[in-house]
Amino acid sequence: MKINDALFGIVFVLVASAILITVQSFPTLPDQPYGPATFPTIIATIMILGGIALCVSGYRERAHQPLIRLAAVMKTRDGLVRMACVPVFMILYILLSKPVGFPIVVPVLLAGFLVITTRKLLKSVIIAAVTTALLWLFFVDFLMVSLPLGILTKVIY
- The answer to the question of residue 29 lying near other proteins (CB under 8 A) is yes
Count of positions (residues) in the chain: 157
- The answer to the question of residue 129 lying near other proteins (CB under 8 A) is no
Q: Which CB, 30 or 156, lies closer to other proteins?
A: 30
Q: How many residues bind other proteins (CB under 8 A)?
A: 63
- The answer to the question of residue 90 lying near other proteins (CB under 8 A) is yes
Distance in Å, CB of 74 to other proteins, minimum: 7
- The answer to the question of residue 127 lying near other proteins (CB under 8 A) is yes
Q: Which of 14, 21, 53, 67 binds other proteins (CB under 8 A)?
A: 53
- The answer to the question of residue 62 lying near other proteins (CB under 8 A) is no
Q: Which of 62, 67, 79, 137 binds other proteins (CB under 8 A)?
A: 79
Which residues are paired to 2 by β-bridges?
A: 69
Residues in CB range of 129: below 8 A, 6 or more apart? 107, 111
Tell me if 27 sits within 8 A of 36, measured CB to CB.
yes
Residues in CB range of 38: below 8 A, 6 or more apart? none
Measured in degrees and rounded to the nearest 5, phi and psi for residue 69 equal -130, 120
